[in-house]
Amino acid sequence: MQFLGSLFFTAFLFVWTFLLATVFFLVGAFMPFRKRFFFARLWGSSLLTVLRWACRLDYTVEGLENIPPGAHVSLWKHASTWETLAINVVIPRQAWVLKRELLWIPVVGWCVQMLHAIAIDRSARSTAVNQVIEQGRRRLDEGSWVVIFPEGTRMPAGTTRRYGVSGTLLASRTGRLIVPVAHNAGYFWPRRSLIKRPGTVRVIVGPPIVAAGRDPREINTEVQGWIEGKMKELVPEGYLQGR
């Protein structure tokens, strides 16, 4: 049954994404920018609902009181496709930092552009960092949060690598706060896996970290320490490492 539910959800994910993107592409250009994010939130919340129904995979969020007013920078653990849905529900209106290849997807890529996403060339590291800082500053000034996966790619559950510095640089230079987020979705929806395991994903929103006037490398160490520390607490009970 878990296989059939996972197969159904995957098919629904592709069909619903294309249908909703088509509607948004047709009407989004006529909407005020501040209202366009409604479609992204609808996309995320509806898919999480279907995921709960089809795969018995639910979620909880702790620490919502740590999300400050205004527009800031949020750094998320990246271990699954799941968090690309959840960020739209947990964090206020936002601009995502993503690889530019996603813009090449017909209809979907055009919609991503309409939401003012920050598309970077990951092969050009210094240029990519400059793109995040330059475009991220504009997005923050527009009133949008900037959401970044500092590991740059999905990491298998229980692993990490050095965090990229673009998010902490952006926060440091603009004087915005950093809100770190940890979750254990990678244990239930592993990367490159069709099967979604039943259970409850735990999301923890951390206390805001002040970045203004600080060394971005020092901030990065603090952010990674907090997120990866929480990850050790979020290993599901009974989970066997490497399973």
Q: How confident is the model at residue 243 (pLDDT cuts 50, 70, 90)?
A: very low
Contact present, 108 and 17 (Cβ < 8 Å): yes
For residue 192, what pLDDT is reported? 85
Q: pLDDT digits over 7-24, tens only?
A: 999 999 999 999 999 999
The CATH number of domain 2-233 is 3.30.200: no
Cα angle at 140 between 85 and 79, to 5 degrees? 30
Amino acid at 190: P
Element (H, E) at 47: helix 33-55
Residues 91-115 have a mean pLDDT of 92
Residue 54 has pLDDT above 80, yes or no: yes
The residues, any chain, with a CB within 8 Å of residue 169's CB and separated by 6 or more, are: 129, 132, 133, 216
Contact present, 227 and 207 (Cβ < 8 Å): no
| Residue 225: how many other CB atoms lie within 10 Å | 11
On average, the pLDDT of the chain sits at 93
CA 118 vs CA 93, 99, 148, 155, 210: distances in Å: 14, 8, 10, 21, 23
3-state secondary structure of 183: strand
pTM of the model: 0.94
Q: pLDDT digits over 206-242, tens only?
A: 999 999 999 999 999 999 999 999 999 999 987 754 4
Residues 122-149 have a mean pLDDT of 90
Q: pLDDT digits over 33-50, tens only?
A: 989 999 999 999 999 999
Q: How confident is the model at residue 135 (pLDDT cuts 50, 70, 90)?
A: very high
Mark 90-114 as b/e (b = at least 16 C-beta within 10 Å): bbbbbbbbbebeeeeeebbbebbeb
For residue 99, what pLDDT is reported? 87
Q: pLDDT digits over 64-94, tens only?
A: 999 999 999 999 999 999 999 999 999 999 9
